[in-house]
Structure 1
Amino acid sequence: MHSKDVTALSRRALIAAGLAALAGPALGAPARRVALLGDSIASGYGLPASQALPARLQAELARMGVPAKVIGAGRSGDTTAGGAARVDRAVPKDVELCVVALGGNDLLTGTDPSQVQANLDRIVRRLKARGVKVVLAGVQVPPILGGGYARAFNGAFAKVAKAHGVLFLPDMLSGISLNPNLNQPDGIHPNAQGVAVIARRLAPLVARGLSAR
C-alpha cells in the first residue's frame, strides 16, 4: 500500500472517530423515566400498544430529542379517588416525572369538584414527597354544558396546579371531545389520531419538566 493510501485511510479513520465521538453521547444518552398515571386513555383503551398514549408520548419526546421511557400506569374506569389510592404502588420508584391524567370518569359520574380537588391534591403531594416532578393534565366540562358545576370542576385542576406550582395542561381533550373524527365509535375514547394530538400537547410540558432543576 502506498504512503498516500495510508494517509487517506488515516484521515478517514480520524474523521469517523470524531463523528462517533460527537454522536456517542446523544445516541447513548440514558432514557428518562416518565410515568403516566391515568384512566382508560392512559391505558390505551381500544388501541394497539403502539398507538396508545404511553407509546405516542414516548415517540413525541424522541422526536423532540428527549430520550425517555414512558411507563403506562393507566387503569380503565379509574377516577381521581382511585388514582390517589394507588399512586404509591402504581408509579415506579425510579420515575423522574409523572403525568397525572385523571378526572374524565369523575366528570362522567358528576363527582363533587371539591372531592376531585382533594384527590388531585393528595396525588401531587405524594409524588412531590418522593421527589417526582409532576405534569397535571386536566379535563374540562364541555362549554355547551356550562353552569356552576362546570366552573367548580374546571377550577379544581387549576387550583391544585397553582397550589403546588406544577406544570399544567388545562384541558388535554380540548377539540377532541365530541369530535367524531378524533374519537372511537363509542364517542368517548380518543382514536389513534386523537391520542396523537394529546401526545403533542403533553410532550413539550414533559420535556420542560425533565429539564427543570
Structure 2
Amino acid sequence: MSNLTSADQFENTSAKTILFFGDSLTAGFGMAQNQDFPALIQEKINSQNLAYKVVNAGLSGETSAGGKARIVNLQEQSVDVFVLELGINDILRGITPTETISNLQFIIDFVKIKHPDVKLMLLGMELPSFFTGHTLTEFRMIFRHLAEKNTMLFMPFLLHGVAGNRLLNLADGVHPNAKGYEIIAGNLWPILKTIL
C-alpha cells in the first residue's frame, strides 16, 4: 500500500497509482491496515506483477460533501486510476440525492481536469432494507446515472454477498469484517483489472 519501504519505492517509481477515495468501507473501519479491500487489491496486483500501487484515501464518516472538500487537497497526488466510493452516509444524514449527485459529479470533474488521462471507476451502494419506495429508487439511480454520464467502470453494489450476513460483518452489522473484505476484493478485482 502507500507505506512502502524506500527500497520498494525505488522499484515502484514507474508504478501507476490507483487512488481509492471513499468512506469507512474504503478506509477499512475496524480492520488492521492490510485487511481493507484496497490492501487486498494491492495483493492481487502484486501477485500478477502489475506495475500499480494502491493509495487508500478512505475516511470514516465521509459524506459526498466532505469528499468534495477533501478532493481539492489531493490535487498533488498522482492518479492513474480513480475509484470512487461515496454516498451511503449522505442518505443516513438526510442529504438529498440531488445534492449527492452534484457533489460526486464535482469530485469526478475535478479529478478529470487534474488528470486528463485518468481511468475512472464507481463503486455503487444499495440501501438497507428498512428504506423503501421513492427514496430507495432515487438513491439507486445516483450511481447508475453517474457511471453512465461519465463513462465510468461500474460495480453496482460494493457489498454484494456481504451486506446483511452477520458472519461477514462486524458486530455493528454495517461494516465488513476480514472475511467480508475478502469477498468484496474478490468481486471487485475481475472488474477493476479490465482497465489496468
1:199 and 2:192 equivalent?
no
Identity, % of aligned positions:
35
Query: Partner residue of 2:195?
Result: 209
Q: Which structure has the bigger radius of gyration?
A: 1
Query: Which whole-Å CA distance do the structure 2 matches of 1:89 and 1:166 have between them?
Result: 23
Aligned counterparts of 2:48 and 2:93: Cα–Cα separation in 1: 37
| Structure 1: 5+ residue stretches without partners | 1-26
Structure 2 gap ranges (5+): 1-10
Number of aligned pairs?
Answer: 184
Aligned partner of 2:58 in structure 1 is: 74
Equivalent residue, structure 2, for 1:9: none
SS at match of 1:51: coil
TM-score in terms of structure 2 length: 0.85
Separation of aligned partners in 2, 1:170 and 1:113:
16
Question: 2:173 matched to which residue of 1?
Answer: 187
Alignment root-mean-square deviation, CA: 2.1
Equivalence for 1:88: 72
SS at 1:49's partner residue? coil
1:24-52 CA distance string (max 9 Å, x none) = xxx98943211110111211211111112
Superposed structure 1 runs of 4+ greater than 6 Å apart: none
Residue in 2 aligned with 1:5? none
Q: Which structure has the highest helix share of the two?
A: 1
Which residue of 1 is the match for residue 119 of structure 2?
Answer: 133
1:43-192 equivalences in 2 (<5 Å): 43-90=27-74, 92-130=76-114, 131=116, 132-143=118-129, 145-192=131-178
**SS of residue in 1 equivalent to 2:171:** coil
1:119–1:181 distance in 2 versus 1, CA, 3 Å? same
Partner SS, residue 61 of structure 2? coil
Following superposition, the deviation at residue 53 of structure 1 comes to: 2.2
Structure-2 residue corresponding to 1:3: none
Q: In structure 1, what is the Cα distance between the partners aligned to 2:48 and 2:136?
A: 35
Asked if 2 retains the 8 angstrom alpha-carbon contact of 1:135 and 1:209, the reply is no
Query: Normalized against structure 1, the TM-score is what?
Result: 0.79
Conserved? CA contact 1:96–1:133, under 8 Å: yes
